[in-house]
């Protein structure tokens, strides 16, 4: 799978490499093969693309929300990178999977783990990274959110 800017990703592999070179605790990113990095960036971009951004698209038939009638915000590029690296750790977390499956508790022998019910909105559940959501929220239309 190859990244095509604004067709399947908001950032290039080179953009992401630069971002992670400057970010603390990015070892998981550098341990990946190039193909996996591209898949993560494409997946993260598609998730972020689901938001309703301010402004207008430059063309009605473009495949993604950007480009728009303003320059691509660095916040959106950073959000893609943050979401991508969060997807790495979330995919290996048993606890994250249990919570996503609405499991309230598990017991094994004398040990147990309980999960509090999620009070997060549907909007929060769209992204694995709270940092990515924070960065994206600056650029989305305000108002009532309706998931599809």
Q: Where are the domains of the chain?
A: 13-137
Whole-angstrom Cα distance, residue 66 to residue 49? 8
Count of other CB atoms within 10 angstroms of residue 70? 13
Q: State phi, psi for 147 to the nearest 5 degrees.
A: -70, 150
Whole-angstrom Cα distance, residue 65 to residue 23? 26
Using left for φ > 0, alpha for ψ between -120 and 50, and beta otherwise, residue 24 falls in: beta
Which pair of structure tokens corresponds to residue 94?
A: 């048993």
Mean pLDDT of 23-50: 96
pTM for this prediction: 0.78
- Cis, peptide link before residue 67, omega less than 30° from 0: yes
Q: How confident is the model at residue 107 (pLDDT cuts 50, 70, 90)?
A: confident
């Amino acid at each position: 799978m190859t990244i095509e800017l604004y067709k399947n990703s908001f950032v290039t592999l080179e953009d992401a490499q630069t971002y992670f070179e400057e970010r603390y605790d990015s070892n998981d990113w550098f341990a990946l093969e190039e193909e996996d990095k591209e898949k993560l960036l494409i997946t993260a971009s598609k998730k972020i693309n689901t938001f309703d951004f301010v402004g207008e698209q430059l063309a009605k038939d473009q495949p993604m929300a950007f480009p728009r009638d303003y320059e691509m915000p660095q916040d959106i590029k950073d959000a893609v990178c943050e979401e991508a690296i969060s997807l790495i750790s979330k995919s290996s977390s048993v606890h994250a999977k249990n919570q996503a499956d609405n499991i309230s508790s598990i017991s094994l022998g004398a040990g147990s783990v309980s999960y509090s019910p999620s009070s997060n909105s549907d909007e929060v559940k769209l992204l694995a990274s709270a940092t990515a959501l924070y960065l994206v929220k600056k650029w989305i239309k305000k108002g009532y959110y309706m998931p599809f």
